[in-house]
Structure 1
């Protein structure tokens, strides 16, 4: 049976729970300044939790104060019985703990049952990546050629797509960061981008010569063709001239990797991971990669990237006195 949408779940919540969820969502958005995707994920998880609570409670309009450890555990147990993965259970438990802690601070509950809620340790699998030669093949401009359509609009889109892929792989920024770029965020003289990442944290990311060439072609030619009244200062534009949608970037990435023989089917996240892995395999410092990726914790970078065993062995032979 298909899962119901978050909107329909929220509409059917009892008034007190619906009001609490709306207040919590505003807290995530305005006080914690989380990204729209993170807010949507937390809202969906907490909405499902409150729906479960409303089913458990006999009273017609339960409040957040009714949420106890038994309700939290039964919610996770129900999810586990429907086949939810360990990573999903861990994420939803984290969302529940965030909500119950906020509820106490907001004065909606006296006690925080989330402090006693344990969850399965999430096992994070590494996404597939491109090999360096596969990345080269994907970024080959000839793979983006379409001689049958040489109209200005089609040419502009090809120039945009090439710049998008070069920037994604060359900078390893997130797709939301890429589509959020403005013209003033690009310093072509120094070849760096100013990126607004998660939690509105700003960082500076360098990019290489191929990305610079592709950006120059797009900004000096293709963008002028697609730009319109609604373009504003967005770097990457859609067909109608507005800011490029992240879904279009995902479609592009999947389509271009599908043209490379033997390459895994990856999206922008896989391209980001590929670039980070190639950096590490090339000898980059882990903390430098952490800074480029915009990770708050080095532990996240260690999980997110992996180093080939050959390079580890080479480093050991070079550096260890007893190698």
Structure 2
């Protein structure tokens, strides 16, 4: 693998073997593999500079000094953000666990490594009224407008990631069942229901606009097409959202992921079970979904503080 070509042969082979394991047996996403590749190259160079030629040469001191390098930086390497440093240590821990399981090393020296928990950031969610104004900002009067309205309605109605939305093919939409089949991270698929406004916007686009765009290309199967008849890119989808937000007069930062956050938050505020929301979002763990419950609790706390007659008083 080219990413590791400047590492000693044994380290290069170990890193490449671990990434192959993640890709083939674990089905890890390409973005994850790319990030781990950078992290492991940095780790390999670090231990090689200390004289290690194989993973058998690595001990706890190498791990400690690498963790310090991630925090403080060294040479051409700037300090990493806490979340990036945690990811790098997860990659290193996975490498050593894999090497031990394969019998390449006798001891897993990284077994006690515990990446720091990154600060829990609350997802940004738009109020329902802002979402409705945003959707209305995609006017839907011409070919591009019809496409953009359908795209934004789908994002909010399904909670899809932007990559999942632009990755949709026409056969993935079942109008009769009111569902879409989304291809998520790690090759996992999920069937998600969508509301009538999204279906109506999709139907208007598929009937009145998509044939015009498709005629400019070579018969792409994608639902959302660009002006040349090819599959719409994530950047173009983001631009459609940005334009709609501008027309709606929404000043807060808006991104495709904000619509996903809004989808989850509004469901929970409406009484949906967190595990149902987990399935709809395609989260592998409910822990990831539970961060949205913090948003709804904060909302409840604010309402209580302003509405309850004794919320701000001290009982006597």
TM-score between both structures, scaled by the size of structure 2:
0.84
For the pair 1:22 / 2:16, whether they are aligned, the reply is: yes
Instruction: Give me the whole-angstrom Cα distance separating, in 1, the residues matched to 2:203 and 2:110.
Output: 52
Q: Which residue of 2 aligns with 1:296?
A: 284
Instruction: Give me the whole-angstrom Cα distance separating, in 2, the residues matched to 1:240 and 1:109.
Output: 54
The answer on whether the counterparts of 2:140 and 2:148 sit within 8 Å (CA) in structure 1 is: no
For the pair 1:280 / 2:276, whether they are aligned, the reply is: no
Q: How big is the shift at 1:108?
A: 3.2
Structure 1: runs of 5 or more not aligned: 1-5, 148-154, 318-323
What secondary structure, in the 3-state scheme, does the structure 2 residue paired with 1:33 have? coil
Q: How big is the shift at 1:230?
A: 4.5
Select which of 123, 129, 147 maps to 2:125: 129
Instruction: Give me the whole-angstrom Cα distance separating, in 1, the residues matched to 2:251 and 2:169.
Output: 32
Task: Give CA deviations for 1:106-135 in whole Å, capped at 9, x if unaligned.
Answer: 343332122111222222201322111111
Instruction: Give me the whole-angstrom Cα distance separating, in 1, the residues matched to 2:232 and 2:107.
Output: 45
Q: Which residue of 1 aligns with 2:296?
A: 307
Q: Which residue of 2 aligns with 1:175?
A: 162
Q: Output aligned runs, 1:1-323, within 5 Å.
A: 10-57=4-51, 62-82=53-73, 83-140=79-136, 143-145=137-139, 155-227=142-214, 230-305=218-293, 306-309=295-298, 311=300
Instruction: Give me the whole-angstrom Cα distance separating, in 1, the residues matched to 2:240 and 2:14.
Output: 39
Instruction: Give me the whole-angstrom Cα distance separating, in 2, the residues matched to 1:269 and 1:185.
Output: 21
* Structure 1, 303-312 or 38-47: larger mean CA deviation: 303-312
Task: Give CA deviations for 1:47-98 in whole Å, capped at 9, x if unaligned.
Answer: 22112222222x6xx2233333222221121111134332222222111111
The answer on whether the counterparts of 1:231 and 1:243 sit within 8 Å (CA) in structure 2 is: no
The answer on whether the counterparts of 2:139 and 2:146 sit within 8 Å (CA) in structure 1 is: no
Task: Give CA deviations for 1:131-181 in whole Å, capped at 9, x if unaligned.
Answer: 1111111100xx33599xxxxxxx322222211111111110112221221
Structure 2: runs of 5 or more not aligned: 74-78, 309-316
